[in-house]
Structure 1
Amino acid sequence: MTIIHNDAEVVRELTATYAEIRRQPRMWHETAAALRARRDEVAAFLAPRLADPSLRIVLTGAGTSAFAGDVIAPALRTVLARRVDAVATTDIVASPETVFAEDLPTLLISFARSGNSPESAAATELADRFLTDVSHVVITCDLSGDLARAHADTATSLVVGMPEETNDSGFAMTSSFTSMVLACLLLFEEERDGVVDALADEAERLFALDDRIGALLDRRIERVVYLGAGSLTGLARESALKLLELTAGTVVGLFDSPLGFRHGPKAVVDETTLVVVYRSADAYTARYDDDIVTELQGVAPGRVVRVGGAGEGSATDYPLPGVDGLPDAYRGLTAVVFAQLLALHASVKAGCTPDNPFPGGTVNRVVQGVTVYPHPRSEDAAR
């Protein structure tokens, strides 16, 4: 398959990042199979905790791993009918007393590609310090990472390892993100019949539209705005980050909700702006998605893209008919393929190397330069 403007040489140079995007359907099948094999173990760990109606579930991670929580939290609130919060590890480490102000029984679910980010282990340690009753689920792509090792063989922790190939070697998280999201969803509900097949088939259909996605950048585009509601707000945030990362910030990625975008942020729309709207599968929510598409098409004709929906509405629609009946958190696994491919095209067009868009090391695959300071509560306990 041709990736970037029929440039076969460029395609060969993109083996890592493109291969990681392209193998996601296989990773989803392997992730689902791994969860099936551990179903009894997972149930034995979660059931007694979920039996407590006061249990608070906190989804955490940094960067893309945090946005996994943003995608999942709305879905789990619906499935479990209980409090589920998405809070980044960076927020927990910076201000644990505000995140854990209520000493409630808590299940902290940590997402981590490597588990070696300084905040990853620090966030779980702070939860242990601030909360009387806390359990941990660690969902990671690297069982040898610091976070997985810290929680291995611990009665109050469950470590869920992803297929080894999800530990993306490229700079940007792609298969790691979608596989961890799928794993978390499958932890809390039975696997729906044919769901992984449907997700994989729809992703393959988007791969076949790769040239068409790249052509969206044939005109001058300086920024891309992603809009989505509910779980799709988190997906919009992750999509914007992929663009920023792979273009080394030369193309600006922004995100918002369709309704929130009107309240000021719409000011960014000009002739150099592309707007991507993730359309919800919920008929009520989708009315707001369609309204913003109609409104923006009037001021940015040809530069408003709708991803999702069952039918072809216009040349800038990318429907997802094969997964249209699934909740948005699941549908997002295929929808984000659009954003990953667009970011890859933008990266090459900007003259970047997608596998390492920051050769000078100003931004790193695993964050560096973070000092985690001892919290006063730990110092008091030591005295």
Structure 2
Amino acid sequence: MTAHTTVPAQHDGGATILEIGQQPGVWREVGTRSDEKAAVFLADVLDRPDLRVVLTGAGSSAFIGDIVAPALRRHLHRRVEAIATTSIVAAPLDHLERETPTLLVSFGRSGNSPESLATTALADSLVEQVWHLILTCDQTGALARAHTGRDDSLVVPMPERTNDVGFAMTSSLTSMLLSALVLLGPAGADDIDALAGAAEHVLGCQPDIRALARAKKQRIVYLGSGALEGLARESALKLLELTAGEVVTYFDSPLGFRHGPKSVLDADTQVVVYVSTDPYTRRYDLDIIAELRGQLGAEAVTVLSTEPVPAELGPAMVIPGLAGRTDAVVAAAYLVFAQYLALFTSLEYGKTPDNPFPSGELGRVVQGVTIYPMTEGER
């Protein structure tokens, strides 16, 4: 099923729905690429036992790091940390370690965000040994241009069509996420092919997702553990962005949610729980499903899982072909659901998903940020 026929063109969501729907094909393209230069560069850098890997970006690009860091940490047996460029630029000495060899992995749809360039420049200035892996959807962007041709940098462009025209990051985000897992982590061609098939299944679920959006709940809460907490954060941002802030969104882990944030729940709240593939972690996810459905009712809690949940917990959207795969991989398929829910909710509220801020309050690339140079006394 294609994604083109669900939303009338007059709603100004054509670019966004195209970019969501193209993801299975994009992922297959990412999974079948072979880059000998990249393999040699990364093998040399990753051979250092004291290497620190920092995953960075702003907004949705930062959340890629939150999603993939746990899988990369297990796979590489190295320090792997997700730190937003916005945090690094504001307080570089809190996050950059001068004497620790560092691979800085930068995610950027356009690579034109001011914090992206500033972060790599700060790393060059403050870290004695630093290498850069640039994952971007725009080969002509400022970040790609700044690092192309450098011996200490590797620029890996995504397929050209992932440079999303729509306001929200959709295929751009998932292509960079999967590229990181392929280049640095555990994802192989079979994972990517399974993911593409799973995403095609979600494409076929558009009527169900549209029905969920028609409820027009005023509050949407996303819950996930580990890598899926990063996914919950991105899901919450996607819906907040595309409804121009009209729907209140929140994210947390199932365990963390009970410690105060659960007070956000009311009769006008929809909860989405992303169920982990890890058998141990999954127990906590199932507990929160039982608890919240007992409190709010089954229909108020949407469950996404790669395998059926116990019958007594009620229904779940089961995405086939992914059982047993790492949560960082599964997150890409779950994210297609979140993107569609954000898109359809935006339309239900009369917004224009391709540009939910037509007056210019927010743009596709952040503007108006002043980057301050560090003086010698501040280093």
Deviates more, 1:212-221 or 1:91-100: 212-221
Residue 303 of structure 2 aligns to which amino acid in structure 1? R
Q: How far apart in 2 are the matches of 1:371 and 1:324? A: 46
Matches within 5 A, 1:38-53: 38=35, 40-53=36-49
What are the equivalent positions in structure 2 for 1:5-20 lying under 5 Å apart? 9=8, 13-20=12-19
Determine if contact 1:306/1:316 at 8 Å carries over to the other structure. yes
Structure 2 residue 238 is the aligned partner of structure 1 residue 239: no
Query: Per-residue displacement from partner, 1:128-175 (whole Å, max 9, x unpaired)?
Result: 111100000000000100000000000000000000000000000000
Deviation at residue 259 of structure 1 after TM alignment: 0.5
Deviation at 1:309, TM superposition (A): 2.9
What residue number does 1:311 align with? 308
Q: Percent identity?
A: 52
**How has the CA–CA distance of structure 1 residues 3 and 224 changed in structure 2, closer, same or farther, with 3 Å as cutoff?**
farther
- Structure 1 CA distance for aligned equivalents of residues 158 and 215 of structure 2: 39
CA contact (8 A) 2:11 2:347 kept: no
1:33 paired with 2:32, answer yes
Cross-structure match for 1:57 = 53
TM-score (structure 1 length as normaliser): 0.94
Preserved contact between residue 71 and residue 186 of structure 2 (Cα < 8 Å): no
For residue 2 of structure 1, report the CA deviation from its aligned partner.
Answer: 9.8
Shift of 1:218: 3.2
* Residue aligning to 2:322: 323
Residue in structure 1 matched with residue 333 of structure 2 by the alignment: 334
2:278 aligned with 1:282: yes
Does the 8 A contact of 2:168 with 2:354 survive in 1? Answer: yes
Change (3 A) 1:269 1:45: same
Quickly say closer, same or farther: Cα 1:339–1:86, change in 2 above 3 A.
same
Q: Deviations over 1:76-95 (max 9, x none)?
A: 01111111000000001000
Aligned to 2:359: 360
Q: Deviations over 1:175-223 (max 9, x none)?
A: 0000000000000246535222211111111111111112123334011
The reply to whether residue 346 of structure 1 matches residue 342 of structure 2 is: no
Give the secondary-structure state (helix, strand or coil) at the position aligned to 1:98. helix
TM-score in terms of structure 2 length: 0.95
Q: Which residue of 2 aligns with 1:163?
A: 159
- 1:53 Cα deviation from its structure 2 partner: 1.1
- Contact kept, 8 Å, 1:137 with 1:157, in 2: the verdict is yes
| Structure 1: gaps (5+ residues) | none
**2:227 alignment partner AA:** S
Q: Kindly indicate whether the alpha-carbon contact (under 8 Å) linking 1:229 and 1:280 is maintained by their aligned counterparts in 2.
A: yes
Question: Which string of whole-angstrom CA distances, capped at 9 and with x for unpartnered residues, describes residues 241-284 of structure 1?
Answer: 00011000001221101100000000001111111011000010
Does the CA contact (< 8 Å) of 1:3 and 1:11 recur in 2?
no
Count, aligned residues: 376
Partner in structure 2 of residue 177 of structure 1: 173
User: Deviation digits for residues 272-330 of structure 1, max 9, x if unmatched?
Assistant: 11110110000100000000000000111111111113126576411123111210010
Distance 1:293 1:105, change over 3 A: same
Unaligned 5+ segments in structure 2 are none
Does the 8 Å CA contact 2:254/2:288 hold for their aligned counterparts? yes
What is the Cα-based RMSD across aligned positions, in Å? Answer: 1.9
Take 2:32 and 2:175, find their aligned partners in 1: how far apart are those partners? 12
Report deviation, 1:13.
3.9
- State yes or no: 1:211 paired with 2:207: yes
Quickly say closer, same or farther: Cα 1:380–1:342, change in 2 above 3 A.
Answer: closer
**1:130 is the counterpart of 2:122:** no
Q: Which amino acid aligns with 2:255?
A: L
Match of 1:103 among 99, 105, 110: 99
| Aligned residues of 1:304 and 1:316 also touching (Cα < 8 A) | no
- Residue 258 of structure 1: aligned partner: 254
Q: Return the alpha-carbon distance in structure 1 between the equivalents of residues 6 and 206 of structure 2.
A: 13
* Partner Cα separation in structure 1 for residue 180 and residue 115 of structure 2: 20
Hey, what's the Cα distance between the residues in 1 that align with 2:355 and 2:365? 12
Letter in 2 for 1:318: M
Measured in 2, the distance between the counterparts of 1:61 and 1:298 equals: 39
| Structure 1 residue 49: Cα displacement | 1.7
